[in-house]
Amino acid sequence: MIEKDFSIYHLEYFLVIFVRVIGVMAFAPIFGNQPVTRRVRIFIAVSFAFAVFTLYPYTPLRYTTFWGYTVILLKELVVGLSMGFMANITLTIIQMAGQFIDRELGFSMVSNFDQTFNTDTTITAEFYNMLLLVIMLCSNMHYFILSALSDSFEMIPIGNVGLDTGAIFDTMIQYISNYFLVAVRISLPIQISIMLLNVVLGVLAKTAPQMSMFVIGIQLKIFIGFAVLIVTIGFLPNITEFLYSGMQEIVTNILKAFIPVS
């Protein structure tokens, strides 16, 4: 419930909440995608910040000068950007798996502009990314971002942000070590299929040198690659659930790194 004696201090308190929320909306999956305009992001951020402002009781911010308030805003922005960035970067695993697949099929030279990350990406990587976002929307996984953002105000009180660099370092090392491993596992069926095909083509090239294995191999790679891709596409919901669990874990670990100052 909004207090009747609204003052400039309440406005400063609301701005601190808004800065953390807008930091998450800048990079979070779905909310931070390029097709979502800035006006929509700001509208969602203002609405969510207003809900948090009415939910949590007002507590005076501990600062004395203008620079002290600026430091509080910067800390809140770092918390929001860290949550949104780490949640979004988890989804890049599926893009790397798609790039591994396109490299095996010979599609790595064909690139498409990805509006999510403002970079060029391959066809299969963009296809996987779109399917992943659709599955997230259909299964309401995007609500986790809003739930985690709401819980962050309980774990990290407003205007009372600390930083545990050791915890952030351990989280990043753990994530980087699993990043390539998970991407390789996703693309492994097609990589194995293409490797076996190359072995067969190598044997045929020795036994029947009059045949043009280069021309035949290009067509067979595309055909077998698409066949295996169609067969394995049914496992994408399970992959999405696995990435979703990883997103939950890494966002939770990042929040624990911003321990409140005692």
Q: What is the rounded distance in angstroms from the CA atom of residue 167 to the CA atom of residue 106?
A: 41
How many Å apart are CA 240 and CA 131, to the nearest integer? 9
pLDDT number for residue 2: 47
Specify which residues 96 forms β-bridges with: none
Reading the block at residue 51, the tokens are 């809900």
Is there a contact between 135 and 238 (Cβ–Cβ < 8 Å)?
A: no
Which amino acid is present at 182?
A: V
What is the full per-residue pLDDT of the chain (262 aa) written as tens digits?
444 566 777 888 888 889 989 988 888 887 877 777 788 888 988 999 888 888 888 777 877 788 888 888 888 888 888 888 888 888 788 888 888 888 888 777 777 766 656 667 788 888 888 888 888 888 877 787 888 888 888 888 887 777 777 777 777 777 777 778 888 888 888 888 888 888 888 887 777 777 776 677 778 888 888 888 888 888 888 888 888 888 888 888 888 887 765 5
Q: Is the pTM of this model over 0.75?
A: yes
DSSP per residue, 218-260 = HHHHHHHHHHHHHHHGGGHHHHHHHHHHHHHHHHHHHHHHSPP
pLDDT tens profile 134-180:
888 888 777 878 888 888 888 888 877 777 777 777 777 777 777 78
Amino acid present at 169: F
Which 8-state DSSP code applies to residue 114? E
Q: How many angstroms separate the CA atoms of 49 and 64, rounded?
A: 24
